[in-house]
A = this chain, B = another copy of it.
Amino acid sequence: MKTTWTRGFLATALACAVAFTTTGARAADPLPSWNAGKAKQSIVDFVAKVTKEGAPDFIPPAERIATFDNDGTLWAEQPMPFQLLFALDRVKALAPQHPEWKDKEPFASLLKGDVKGALAGGEPAIVQIVTTTHTGMTTEEFDQIVRAWLAGAKHPKTGRLYTEMVYEPMLELLAYLRANGFKTFIVSGGGIDFMRVWTEKVYGIPPEQVVGSSIKTLFEMRGGKPVLVRLPEVNFVDDKAGKPVGINSHIGRRPIAAFGNSDGDLQMLQWTTAGSGPRFCLYVHHTDAKREWAYDRKSSVGQLDKGLDEAKAKGWTVVSMKDDWKRIFAFEQ
C-alpha cells in the first residue's frame, strides 16, 4: 500500500492529494502486531485478491464469510480451556449446596484441588461437570453468572482477566477483515452461550455470529413470563466434524477463509478449502513458550498434529506465534 501511495505522490501532486484523502486510513499498516513475513503477506495478498472489483478472483462482500475458532486461536487455552476453569469455579461456588459432592466424583477430587484426578473420568466426568454447572437455570440467569465470573476471575499464571488474554494480532486481523467487507464468525467447540456474553465487546463479533456447542433449552411460562430453561442435556458439539455442521446450520454458506489452531479445526478448514474459487486457511501454531505456551502434536489441550501435516500438504498458512507476532497480548507493553 505504502509503495503505491509513494509512486502516486511522485507522479503527480494532485493524484497524491486524492489518494491521501480517500485511502489515507488504509495506508497505515492494518496489522502492526504482525512481523513482516510469509504469514502476514499471505493474508494481505488474499484480501487484496478477493476485494479487487472486476478482477477474476473478486468475491462480493455478502460471500466474504470468515470463521474463527476461539480457544487457542483468538484467546489462550492453557493450562486448560477457560470455560473449564469457569466450570471448576462454579463447582466450588455451588459446593455448599451439595454436601454429597464430598464423596462423589468428579466433584470430590475437584474440591480437594485435584483437577487432574477429577478429569481422569474422561468425557463423562467433563459432561457431568458441565451439565451441573451450566444448566438448571434460565438463559438470562446463566448470562449473569458468566458475566459476574468474567468480571472477577483471574488467570492462574498471568493474573489477568480472561478477556485480557486475547491475541492482539488476531484482534487486528478481525478488524482488518471487517474493514474489507468480511463478516467474521466464531466457530468454536466452546459453549455458544458462554461466548456470546463477551464476544461483541472483546472481538466485535455479535451474538448472532457466534457458533458453538450448546445444551438443550426449553421454552416455558413462569408466573406468566416466558423463559428459556437450560436443560441438563447436550444439544450439539461444535468440534471436529461438528464444525462444518455448525457452519451449515448457523451460517448457511461456506466460508472463504477459516482460522484455527488445532486438529479440532481441521474439518472446518477442509470444508472451507473444498469450495470453488479463492480460499484461505490459517493455523495459529503455539511456538512461544516464553510469551505464551509452546505445544502441538502431543498436547492434551489444543493438539495440532494431523492439521500441521495437512497445512503443509495444502499450502495453508501456518503462523508461528514466536516468529510472526511482534506482540501477543496487549498487556505485554
Contacts and interface: CB of A to CB of B under 8 A. Distances in A.
Interface of A: 62, 65, 139, 183, 185, 192-193, 196, 200, 206-210, 214, 217-220, 225-226, 228, 241-242, 244-245, 248-253, 267, 270-271, 274
Contacts of A244: 219, 226, 228
Contacts of A242: 219
A226 B62 contact: no
Interface centre among A139, A192, A241, A249 (most CB of B within 10 A): A249
Chain copies in complex: 2
Nearest to A195: B252
A226 B267 contact: yes
Contact of A252 (B183, B207, B253): B207
Contact of A219 (B62, B185, B226, B241): B241
Given A217-B248, A253-B208, A225 B192 contact: no
A251 B219 contact: no
Interface centre among A139, A214, A242 (most CB of B within 10 A): A139
Contact of A245 (B192, B217, B245): B217
Contacts of A271: 219, 226
A65 B226 CA distance: 18
A271 B226 CA distance: 6
Contact of A192 (B210, B217, B252): B252
A263 B37 CA distance: 59
A251 B217 contact: no
Contacts of A248: 139, 217, 228
B210 A252 contact: yes
14 contacts: A62-B200, A185-B208, A192-B252, A207-B251, A207-B253, A208-B252, A208-B253, A210-B252, A214-B249, A217-B249, A219-B241, A220-B241, A226-B244, A226-B267
A256 B211 CA distance: 22
A183 B217 CA distance: 24
Contacts of A267: 219, 226
B245 A219 contact: yes
B245 A228 contact: yes
